[in-house]
Structure 1
């Protein structure tokens, strides 16, 4: 079905045409121009990661846009090893025309549909967008000072503040042996969790700061992140995992119950924690892809 949809949709919107939207450029060039114009400026390295382009292809496409007078590429004042690209005045005019033509194309596709059919299509595309993006996220282990880990943790504490009035404690001392797992889409963190040694219990690890971006909830990232952390814990030689949470985070509590974590007595002095969980890793099996996917925070 996915392949069938791709064939039909790409035909309908002119993806295969040499002149996408009738503007004299193929889709690959137009897409790059769009991403540059969607922000004031963007690093070339970020563009490469966002679009999945190899360095040679990206360099050739940028040179074409520069020859057309649509973009400029300059060293980043904060780090001259990096290059920043932005639209010129002429590039902004082309970008705005491309936006107008894209809106018109979308309107032409929707015009034959009734309001009810449009709502159905909107809901279906919204779900498909979330699930396809979730299927293509990239998980990576990073140190605590990695910008992606920091961004994720700032978002984690910001949500705790909104929901519980919790204050961000600021930078913590680096825990020896700690691993941060970050799920990224288009170079941006969308899920995060930390695995660290539990200092008071032999052969045990502890999970901290499990977080999923608000816009990505319902796509299974909470359970996927947790299972990957469990795999890291097994590979690190831990026999069991502990975690704590607050009873106000009902979706997280539900996830832990579903994935086989059992309630235990308090094992630390965290004043904000009300519930404590443990899971034996040796011989344990998780609940697989059908596990609850709504968890957001722990």
Structure 2
């Protein structure tokens, strides 16, 4: 249930991009005064910070940086030619190419970090302490929202591995939090959230499942929301609300104008979210061993 993006918002976003990229020197072929552009500098940084003793695979680098395989290959070969990177096969999987820094590469990244800190210090020195705090808070918010915007929420087959992976993690979370534990047999059966009976959605961040939610038919014209879960690494982004909105939109698409759900007494943050999203607490609409609170929301197109 997303609204169209206004031209004012688009213009403001592009204006900020132009200001920020110019200020930090993205357009300069010698980023931070070093002998390489931003792309290669960022690649060195990722290899240094994300790689283990054997380095990091090019496959993981492609995912982390969102790069075309050919472009990434050309950059790593240039860095290899300049003595910054060593390319090798993975010790346990010859199909994977690994990249690790040479001593010269480590030295360059160390200098890169020193110069980047100096650049950030120079920017912040131009502001009074209260304005520095304001800018820091604004950048933190921007980073959170940009990360949320990049996550996709897609319908998947409820039998699919990603769906089962999310439900397993969801069950583990509940088993740890509920005083009585959690019985996995309580998870909704795949056929009840498939086809005409319902739907299952998975949230993906860089092709990695980081959340899920299910919708099933409850009564004619009414659906039930089940198993809204977010990976710990993706919490506090607003992703649970986004999954909830996706499920509501799917209910409307099926002409279900009411959605209901229940939740456990210990999940106080979930109760707070449901109330904030327009759900009203109602009497119990069914028997469920883990339910202490029941909610309903009437949907309008």
- CA distance change for structure 1 residues 256 and 14 in 2, over 3 Å: closer, same or farther? same
1:150 to partner: Cα distance:
6.2
Please identify which structure carries the higher helix content: 2
Contact 2:216/2:223, CA 8 A, preserved across alignment: yes
TM-score by length of structure 2 reads 0.74
Deviations 1:230-263, CA, capped at 9 Å, x for gaps:
3334556867644220234334224434435662
Q: Higher relative contact order at CA 8 Å, sep ≥6: structure 1 or structure 2?
A: 1
Q: Return the alpha-carbon distance in structure 2 between the equivalents of residues 29 and 43 of structure 1.
A: 16
Match of 1:107 among 121, 126, 134: 121
Which of 36, 48, 63 pairs up with 1:25? 36
Which stretches in structure 1 are left out of the alignment for 5+ residues? 287-298
3-state SS of paired residue (2:63): helix
Aligned pairs for 1:124-135 (under 5 A) are 124-135=138-149
Matched-pair contact (CA < 8 Å) for 2:89–2:95: yes
Q: Does 1:6 align with 2:25?
A: no
Name the residue aligned to 1:252: 270
Give the match for residue 223 of structure 1: 241
Native 8 Å contact 1:191 1:211 kept in 2: yes
1:38-82 Cα distance to aligned partner (Å, 9 max, x none):
112433333223322222222222222222233344444565544
Q: CA RMSD in A?
A: 3.6
**Residue in structure 2 matched with residue 195 of structure 1 by the alignment:** 215
* Corresponding residue number in structure 1 for 2:284: 265
The TM-score with structure 1 as length reference comes to 0.74
Query: In the alignment, which of 133, 137, 141 is matched to residue 119 of structure 1?
Result: 133
Matched, 1:176 2:195: no
Say whether the 8 Å CA contact 1:160–1:166 is kept in structure 2.
no
SS of 2:42's partner is helix
Aligned in 2, Cα 1:9/1:173: closer, same or farther, shift over 3 Å?
closer
